[in-house]
Amino acid sequence: MPLYYRPWHSQSEGIVLPERDFQTYPIGFQHSLNRAKSTSWLGNWVHVFLLLSVRSPRGILEHEMERISYFVPGELSWEEHLIPRLRWPIPAGVARTYVEAYTDPGEVVLVPFSQGPSAIREILAAGRRVVAANFDPALMLMVQTLLAPPPIRELDAAVARLGDSSKQGMPLRHYLAELYTSTCPACQRSAVVDYFIWDREQGAPVAKRLRCPACAWDGRTVVDEEDRQRLDEVPSQGMHYHYVLDRIAPQPGAEALRPRLEFLLELYTPRNLYALAELTLKIESLFPEGPVRRALKVLLLDCLERCSSLSSLPGSKRRQRGLARPGRFLERNVWRAFEEAVGRLQASAVKPVDGLVDRLDAFRGVGEQAGFVGQGLVRDLIRSLSPRSIRLILSSPPPLDSAVWSLSYLWGAWLLGVEAVAPLRPLLRQRTPDPAWYARVMAGSLGSLTDLLQDDGRLVLILTDQRPVLVQALALAAGSARMGVASLVQSGADYRLELMPSLAQPVLHSEEPLDLAIRRSALATAVETIQERGEPVQWRTLHTAMLQRLATQGLLIRVLEEKEESASPLDRVAEQLEAALDDQALVRLVDREQGRQLWWLARPEGMSIPLCDRVEDVAYQVLQDTLALTEADFAAGVYARFPGNLAPEAELVATCLRAYGQESTADYWQLRAEDLPQARQAERQAVIGHLLSLGQKLGYHATPGDPFDVAWFRGGQMRAAFVVHWRAAVDEALALSDRAGQAQPYLVIPGGRAALVSYKLAHNPLLQQVVDASGWRFIKYRHVRQLLSQSEVDEYALRTIIGLDPIVERESAQIPLF
């Protein structure tokens, strides 16, 4: 059976994108432009004309041709990074895509609020120059160290020297290890604990994990009286506590902040605070200012995060937010955490980058310098760079998270002193994040950055694992800065917001009340988005689409100008968007996978093919068209074909890859041989024949059916109907529910599609309702073959192979097939 081609497929199995989407043009357009500039005097005039058209109102077409209107995916594994709690860096691969599309070699790319080295490396690797800054000194210390780390030998020697330094007559590493010494439960010999597990309500450790060097016992066990006595030996607020408190409290004026700082220091157990303070003292006394000392402080910074009581149990896959301790948290062995940080630093700092300066006034706009990377505010950038000199600004803006701001101040002051973190002091006073305040502050920053952009320049905000309220605040900030929203796309909790000064919309006043205009626009956008996706849509996706439309129509600027006393602009927009989603034209559903709300139409009309099916088709084509590709390149190829509000979820893209692909070599994927069209077509026909034979074995009259592939009859009535697909085309099969009558309907699929079928059912309540109402069951190809190969088969044996997770596959099941 061939792929289920849609009207939007071309005859050559390619995809014809909507005419409004020009994401395939930027490179070709730029190459043509460069060639025209270099080949003739006529080309120079063409160049001038194109530039003038871009800068003029009629140049919008050129903007459309160069615009990346789809979601650009990237790779980010936050738990493997140094200091993950403070960082939302631009994921790997994202910067490269925008840089190659929107800039020429040799141009300067600006990265304000820089939070990681990967984007800087990608910009430099593309032959561009970079200006990267952040007001957070601890973050920039980390970025600078990873870009220009000391040689591995020097770092290893420094760590060895630190560990060998004397503390009360023994090496520091042994002294710190003694703090975490316990008894092996197997051989009763001394062993060093990797970490203790604390119970928040009890305020004490309840378990420990250790590896015994004597008997090789490795695991968790309960704490004993010796562990509790050793913990009591460390004073809760001794000399080391006051050393750290005095180090982080600004003088004068510390009185108002001191209670907050004392609260932050309570995030550490007395033992860990003691060990961290001892490391701080030793680093500063043994090593002079220079690359090695800075690298050791970056290692200590990672320990400050991982050795706090905010650390959840191993195996957690979610980024922890806030300052509340988990119900069970870790007390890590500080010295072992320090040694582990060495490995993370060496893995992240792959190759030193030459030509970077750390003073903005030393950076020259032209020349051989690779760029500037250092601490700085946005206002420092606009003072040092020429107006209208930048074509691309890439940034992952600061998170809307008061816990992160507090920790940034705490750790920066701990490592670098209070003067270094003076710009963070106002943030320390904010106990709860204020989205309206955030929008006002970011409006000022975006307005300043706009002055640096050329008329055809872009400011691209990369948002990873962020809440929708932050996106809404940034959209309002962009309107306040008179920046036009060229594109706002979203996949899961990740967003890409592209702004342009030349696309700023005029404020269009009308007789219609503003609140009503917002509701009308939002409702129309929600309906269109649901129709375009052809399936129930989650709130994040609708919210993103509605914000994009409000910005394009100039309604966000009207909200900013038509202020009302009862609500902030942010709350006013949120209230009207929620009112639009309560309209009777929409229906709320709940998916069984995550319990989240989805929206559908009360009268479904004008629906496109379900997005899940389209993504599956495209995923297959991407694999079919390429001999081998990485998972990141696969995701990029899929996302590029779904612009705007059609961006699929990352989980769906990954599930499609595993449904059709296999890892041919490490990190490279290719289409499975059995999924080539000819192979699957032949296999499908064979399975149809197996079902006919199996029906006859079970005593049915088995025949090819219409519209079913196989039907089993008994006593003149159809008892079972089979649809055989080699795709996870659930909706196609379910459309035949009414034709099955009283017969039991089955969908027979390859085993590799089971996870994809499960995903579609779990994320689309409408499909699951049909499955439940009509009693659809699922069978995998291989189980049909296995069952047919047996000499005796009965109805009970048939039941053991039914399901996406059938009885026959369960290891605990000891049920014979016959």
pLDDT in tens, 461-488: 999 989 999 999 999 999 999 899 999 9
Distance, in Å, from the CA atom of 450 to the CA atom of 499, rounded to the nearest integer, reads: 9
Q: What is the rounded average pLDDT for all residues in the chain? A: 86
Q: Is the pLDDT confidence value at 548 over 90?
A: yes
Buried b (16+ CB within 10 A) or exposed e, 491-505: bbebbbbbbbbbbbb
| Residue 152 in this model has a pLDDT that exceeds 50 | yes
Q: Helix 137-147 vs helix 118-125: angle between axes, to the nearest 10 degrees?
A: 50
Q: Which residue has the tokens 């050129």?
A: 62
Of 787 and 5, the one with more pLDDT: 787
Peptide bond into 252 cis (omega under 30): yes
The band of 582, judged by pLDDT with boundaries at 50, 70 and 90, is very high
For tokens 């032959």, what's the residue?
127
**pLDDT-based confidence at residue 5 (cuts at 50, 70, 90):** very low
- C-alpha to C-alpha distance for 787 and 801, rounded to whole angstroms: 8
Which pLDDT score is estimated for 85?
77
Three-class SS state of 93: coil
In single-letter form, the type of residue at position 420 comes to: A
Sequence-distant (≥ 6) Cβ neighbours of residue 554 within 8 angstroms: 505, 506, 507, 508
Q: Is 205 helix (H, G, I), strand (E, B) or coil?
A: strand
Burial (CB count <10 Å: 0-12, 13-18, 19+), residue 169: exposed
Tokens linked to 389: 């000199």
pTM for the model stands at 0.86
* Residue 250 banded pLDDT, cuts 50, 70, 90: confident
Mean pLDDT of 790-794: 86
pLDDT value, residue 665: 87
Is residue 120 predicted with pLDDT exceeding 70? yes
CA distance 664 to 631: 12
- What are the pLDDT digits (tens) for 625-665? 999 999 999 999 999 999 999 999 999 999 999 999 999 88
Query: Distance between CA atoms of 95 and 120, rounded to whole angstroms?
Result: 8
Residue 326: pLDDT band (50, 70, 90) is: confident
Give CA–CA dist 621/393, Å, rounded: 34
The pair of structure tokens assigned to 397 is: 């803006």
CA nearest 439: which of 572, 575, 578, 569?
Answer: 569
In this prediction, residue 80 carries a pLDDT of: 56
| In the block, residue with structure tokens 């790997």 | 92
Tell me which DSSP letter residue 358 carries. S
pLDDT at 39: 37
Count of C-beta atoms within a 10 Å radius of residue 652: 21
pLDDT of residue 779: 96
Is 695 within 8 Å of 658 (Cβ atoms)?
Answer: no
- For residue 709, the 8-state DSSP code is S
pLDDT digits (tens, 9 = 90+) for 54-91: 333 333 334 344 579 999 999 876 555 777 778 888 99
Q: Quickly count: other Cβ atoms within 10 Å of residue 442's Cβ.
A: 24
